[in-house]
A and B are shown apart, each in its own frame.
Chain A
Amino acid sequence: MPDNLTTIEEILERKSHPVVRDASIAPTHDMRELLFDLEAKGEIIVQKVPEPYVEFTTKFGRKKKIPIEHTWHHKSCGHCGHIPGYASSILWLHRQFDLDYHDPTDQTSCTGWNYYASAASNAAGQASVMARNFAAAYETGYFPLIHCGTSFGHYKEIREQLVHNQELRDEVRRILGKLGKPLVIPEEIVHYSEWVYAMRHRFAERQLVDMSPITATVHPACHYYKIVAEDAIYDPEIYGGQRTAVVTALLETLGMNVADYSTWFDCCGFGFRHVLVQRDFTRSFAVLRKIEVMKNEANPDLTVTHDTGCVTTLDKSQFAAKAHDRKVGIPILSDAQVAALAMGAHPFRVVQFHWHSTDWRPFLEKLGVNWQKYWDEFQADLDAIRAGTKSGITWEDADQPIHLTA
C-alpha cells in the first residue's frame, strides 16, 4: 500500500511505460476463472448456476449464464418498502410458469443505498453483508437472483474487490467465521431484469394484452450497466449492441414501440443521499434531464426502467414540477410490472398501480383496460380486510391471469 506522496522518480518510471492499445488485451477477463482458482485453493466456495440456464453475451463478448429457476430472491428494500408491485410482479411471473423459487426471510438488504448515501461503512463491512446473504442462499440450495440494481452493481464491485484482495478476503472470512458461515461467491451475479430478458419470448407466448398502442421510453439503470460495465447483457439487435439489451428487448418482444431520446445515458437523479435529504437536486434532474426531454422528443405513454431508485425518482418527482408548469405526466413502471400486466396480472392485486403517483389511468385506458372495474374489485378486498373477514390478499387471489381488455 502506498503511504507517501509519489516521488518524481516514481512518476518518471511510470511514464516510461507507454499505453499500449491492443484489442487482444481488452478487459474481457472471465471473473469465473479467478473464482474457480480461489475455490481450488480452498479460499472460497463457488455456488454454481443451477440447470436450466440460458447463456447471453455481455458487453465484451463473455457468455453469462442466467438461471431460469431454483432462485433465491434477494429482495430490494426500495421495491418491498415503496413499490411492492415491483417485487410481487417478479414472483407472479415465476408462478405463472411453475418455476421453483425461494423468497427468504434470512436476507438483509445489501445496505448499499446507505453506503452510497453516507459512506458510513467500509469495504469489510459491505463485503461481509454481501457474503452473509450469499452464504444464506447457499445453505438453502437456491441461487441468488438480485432484485435491486444497486445491490447488483454493488455486489459486482465487491466481488472484484474480494477476488483481487487477499487482505479483504481474510478479513471477511474472519467475520463470517464468527457467524459460522463459509465465504461463498456465486458463479454469476444475476439481476432479475436479465431473467426477464431470458424469459421474454415465453411471456409473449402467453400475452393477453395487446401492447402495440403504447409508445415507451427506456431508462437504463446506472448501477445495472455502469458499475462493472463488462457484466451487463448486450445484443447486436438492440441499438447495435451499443446499449444494454435488457428492458428494451422485452418491450419490443411484447410489441411496444420503443422511442429514443437524447439523454438516455443520464442517471435519474436519485443521488442516494439526495433523494432522502436534498430532493431539490433529485427533482430538478429527474424532470429537466429525463421526463421533460422524453416528453419533448418522444412524448411516450410510459417510461420503463429496471431499478428501485429510478422508478421512485422518476415517478415521485413529477408532482412538484407540475406546479412550475413543467412538461410532465409520464407514468413509470418496471419491466417486470409491464410483463406481468401484458400476461394479465391484476393491476392492483399484483402490479399494485396504487403505489405509483404519476397518473397511470391514461396508460391503462389506451390499452383498453377498464381500470375502474379492477379498482372496484380491489376496494372490495380492502373493505373485507378492514372488516376483518379477510386477513389479506394471497397468491390464491392473485395468481389467475385475467383477460384485462375483455
Chain B
Amino acid sequence: MPTTLENWNPGKAEDRHPEATYEEKERLFLEVKSDLRYEDFLYGCYECGICVSACPSARFYDFSPRVIAQAMAREDVERIYDILTEDIWNCAQCFSCVRCPRQNNPGGLVTILREVSIKNGLQESKDALQGYSRVIYKVMLKGNQVSPDMLQPDFFPDWGPWVKNFSENMHVWRKAIPMDTIRGITDVAWRVERKTLLELYTIWFESGNMDIIKELDEGLYDLLADVMQEELEEG
C-alpha cells in the first residue's frame, strides 16, 4: 500500500531500530561526540537549509545534511541512530555543505559517523562497502588508491568501448608516457619504493588502522596483515 498522509505512521522513534537498546545508541553517539573534530564541525543549526541546497546527495537520495546537523545539535540519540544506519553512506563527501552560515561541517560529521559505524562493526557499513574491499587492499598495500589494471570492461561497462580499447592496449600505452615514475607501470599509479611501503605499513599498524580493518572485514585483515608483517620482518 502506498504511503499517504492518512496512513502514514512513522511509529515511535525507539521502535524503528529495536535491534539496538537506547543505551547502545547513546554509547555510539557519545563516541561520535568525543571525536576531537566534533566541536569544530558543529556549532548549532539555524535550520536554514543552505547545506541542503548545495548537497548533491540530497537531490538523488532521501538524505539531508540539515537533518544530520539538527539531530546532532539536539543530541537526539534515536534519530542519530537512524542516520548512522540509514543515511551516512549516501553522502558524496564533497563538502559543499560547509557553505553553512553557522560554520558547521555536516559532511565532516558524516565522516565521524562513518568511522564510528566501521569501528563498531555495524552491518550497514559492511553492506555499503561490499565490493569495495579490493580498493582498500590496493591502497593500504601499494600506497596508491587506483591503478591502470583496475580499468577492466567488467568493472566499468558503463564507461563504454573505451575501457576495452584501453585494457587491450594498456601495456603499450603505459610505456608511451614520458614520466620515469609512471612509464611501464600497470599495477600501481606510480612506482613507490619498498622502503616507503614499509613505512606506510608501520603507520597502519601503529595508528590503529589495522584494528579498524579487522572490525570491518576479518578476511581482508588477514590478507593484509600477512603480507605486511612478512614484509616488515624481512625489511
| A-to-B contact residues, CB < 8 Å | 1-6, 75-82, 84, 87-88, 91-92, 103-109, 111, 113-125, 128-129, 132, 136, 153, 160-161, 164-165, 167-168, 171, 174-175, 178-179, 181, 222-223, 226-227, 229, 265-267, 269-274, 276-277, 279, 281, 283-285, 289, 316, 319-320, 348-350, 352, 354-355, 357, 378, 381-382, 385-386, 391-395, 397-398
* Interchain Cβ contacts under 8 Å between A and B, 20 examples: A5-B30, A81-B144, A105-B193, A105-B196, A113-B146, A121-B207, A125-B208, A167-B36, A171-B207, A174-B206, A179-B202, A179-B203, A229-B98, A276-B132, A277-B132, A281-B57, A354-B173, A355-B166, A393-B177, A393-B178
Q: In the docked arrangement, what's the CA distance between A117 and B202, Å? A: 22
Question: Separation in Å of the A81 CB from the closest CB of chain B?
Answer: 4
Known: A107-B190, A175-B206, A349-B178. 20 other contacts (CB 8 A): A2-B34, A77-B144, A84-B174, A87-B182, A109-B143, A111-B145, A113-B139, A114-B139, A117-B132, A119-B114, A122-B115, A122-B212, A229-B98, A271-B57, A276-B132, A316-B159, A316-B162, A348-B176, A392-B177, A393-B177
Question: Per a CB cutoff under 8 Å, which of B77, B135, B162 touches A117?
Answer: B135
Q: Is the CB of B160 within 8 A of A357?
A: yes
Answer whether residue B189 sits at the interface, using C-beta atoms and an 8 A cutoff. yes
Question: Separation in Å of the B146 CB from the closest CB of chain A?
Answer: 4
**Most chain A beta-carbon neighbours within 10 Å: one of B40, B150, B207:** B207
A286, closest chain B residue (CB): B56
Q: Is the CB of A267 within 8 A of B207?
A: no
Q: Is the CB of B96 within 8 A of A3?
A: no
Which residues in B have their C-beta under 8 angstroms from that of A91? 178-179
Answer whether residue B17 sits at the interface, using C-beta atoms and an 8 A cutoff. no
Answer whether residue B8 sits at the interface, using C-beta atoms and an 8 A cutoff. no
**In the A-B complex, the 4 residue pairs with the closest CB atoms:** A119-B114, A319-B160, A108-B143, A125-B207
Answer whether residue B136 sits at the interface, using C-beta atoms and an 8 A cutoff. yes
B53, closest chain A residue (CB): A265
B114, closest chain A residue (CB): A119
Contacts A122-B209, A271-B92: A108 and B144 contacting too (C-beta < 8 A)? yes
Question: Per a CB cutoff under 8 Å, which of B111, B146, B193, B207 touches A128?
Answer: B207
In this complex, the interface size class of chain B, counting residues with CB under 8 Å from chain A, is 35 or more
Q: Is the CB of B75 within 8 A of A5?
A: yes
Q: Is the CB of A124 within 8 A of B147?
A: no
Q: Is the CB of A398 within 8 A of B172?
A: no
Answer whether residue B54 sits at the interface, using C-beta atoms and an 8 A cutoff. yes
Q: Is the CB of B172 within 8 A of A289?
A: no
Which residues in B have their C-beta under 8 angstroms from that of A223? 94-95
Which residues in B have their C-beta under 8 angstroms from that of A276? 132, 135
Q: In the docked arrangement, what's the CA distance between A332 and B169, Å? A: 22
Q: In the docked arrangement, what's the CA distance between A392 and B160, Å? A: 27
Q: Is the CB of B96 within 8 A of A125?
A: no
Which residues in A have their C-beta under 8 angstroms from that of B148? 81-82
Task: Tell me the residues in window 66-81 of chain B with beta carbons closer than 8 Å to chain A beta carbons.
Answer: 75, 77
Which residues in B have their C-beta under 8 angstroms from that of A5? 26, 29-30, 75, 77
Q: Is the CB of A222 within 8 A of B95?
A: yes
A281, closest chain B residue (CB): B60
- Per-residue CB contact flags for chain B residues 144-186 toward chain A (1 = under 8 Å, else 0) read 1111101100001011101000100100111111111111100
Contacts A269-B56, A391-B175: A2 and B212 contacting too (C-beta < 8 A)? no
Q: Is the CB of A392 within 8 A of B118?
A: no
Answer whether residue B12 sits at the interface, using C-beta atoms and an 8 A cutoff. no
Q: Is the CB of A319 within 8 A of B26?
A: no
Q: In the docked arrangement, what's the CA distance between A323 and B119, Å? A: 41
Q: In the docked arrangement, what's the CA distance between A296 and B59, Å? A: 20
Q: Is the CB of A113 within 8 A of B56?
A: no
Task: Tell me the residues in window 128-145 of chain B with beta carbons closer than 8 Å to chain A beta carbons.
Answer: 128-132, 135-136, 139-140, 143-145
Which residues in B have their C-beta under 8 angstroms from that of A265? 54, 96
Q: Is the CB of B212 within 8 A of A120?
A: yes
A167, closest chain B residue (CB): B36
Question: Per a CB cutoff under 8 Å, which of B95, B132, B160 touches A320?
Answer: B160
Which residues in B have their C-beta under 8 angstroms from that of A349? 176, 178
Contacts A128-B203, A226-B94, A226-B96: A118 and B176 contacting too (C-beta < 8 A)? no
Which residues in A have their C-beta under 8 angstroms from that of B38? 2
A164, closest chain B residue (CB): B40
Q: Is the CB of B146 within 8 A of A78?
A: yes
Which residues in B have their C-beta under 8 angstroms from that of A121? 115, 207, 209, 212
Question: Separation in Å of the A255 CB from the closest CB of chain B?
Answer: 27
Q: In the docked arrangement, what's the CA distance between A274 and B150, Å? A: 16
Q: Is the CB of A124 within 8 A of B75?
A: no
Q: In the docked arrangement, what's the CA distance between A320 and B143, Å? A: 31
Q: Is the CB of A179 within 8 A of B199?
A: yes
Q: Is the CB of B96 within 8 A of A114?
A: no
**Most chain A beta-carbon neighbours within 10 Å: one of B95, B96, B115, B129:** B95
Q: In the docked arrangement, what's the CA distance between A192 and B200, Å? A: 24
Answer whether residue B192 sits at the interface, using C-beta atoms and an 8 A cutoff. yes
Answer whether residue B93 sits at the interface, using C-beta atoms and an 8 A cutoff. yes
Answer whether residue B213 sits at the interface, using C-beta atoms and an 8 A cutoff. yes
Q: Is the CB of A82 within 8 A of B146?
A: yes
B200, closest chain A residue (CB): A108
Which residues in B have their C-beta under 8 angstroms from that of A174? 206
Contacts A119-B114, A120-B136: A283 and B158 contacting too (C-beta < 8 A)? yes
Which residues in A have their C-beta under 8 angstroms from that of B57? 271, 281
Question: Separation in Å of the A87 CB from the closest CB of chain B?
Answer: 6
